[in-house]
Structure 1
Amino acid sequence: MSKLKSITANCPIDLTINILSGKWKIAILWNLSKGAVRFNELKRMLPGITHKILTMQLRELERDKMIYRKVYNEIPPKVEYGLTEVGKSIRPVLKSMCDWGKEYKNLI
């Protein structure tokens, strides 16, 4: 669950941590940074995540304007998730985290 107390947190780092807090949020954003996907496709990309937790994390990211949810008027219903413009702005941060992780892995 998000620990976001106020969207206007005093410290920018606290705000960032509050938005990204949650075991799966960074992984969700990383996968969505490659393009919009449907719910079940995203669930397959995240082995070990439950339906309930994925739904909860997606709702929090949507509430924080990081992702959008698009519902198509079809039977069966089709729902797609993708990054908003605000969400796209975190791509360089995610890339830096990925690069750092690769370097760290080579150091240990």
Structure 2
Amino acid sequence: MPTAPIIRNKPSGTFLTHLFGSGLEADTRYVVERFRSMSKTGEIRPVEAGQKKRETLTRAAIHKLRPARNEIIICTARADSKSGCQLWGSIASGLFFAAARKA
């Protein structure tokens, strides 16, 4: 019998920041998309339909974002779609595990 996925909404104390293109240098607005990493299956899914899928934020607001432990936040500049940042929660990044889980 399949079980419901575990949703971890606790803020991550440590997270990975990945800048791409010119990063957050442009003084513009950013489109923010949120995804969840499912720890049991390894899938990355967009947030549920009941929540906002996309939002537009300023650079100052982006600096204050903190992903949940299993969350990935992708911020893309509206003016330059090749620039922005990604914020990976500690579980979503997979960097803090000694070895991969075996099925």
TM-score > 0.5 by shorter chain: no
Q: Whose relative contact order is higher, 1 or 2, with alpha carbons under 8 Å and at least 6 apart? A: 2
Q: Please, what TM-score do these two structures have when normalized by structure 1?
A: 0.26
Relative to its length, the structure with more helix (as a share) is 1
Q: Please, what TM-score do these two structures have when normalized by structure 2?
A: 0.26
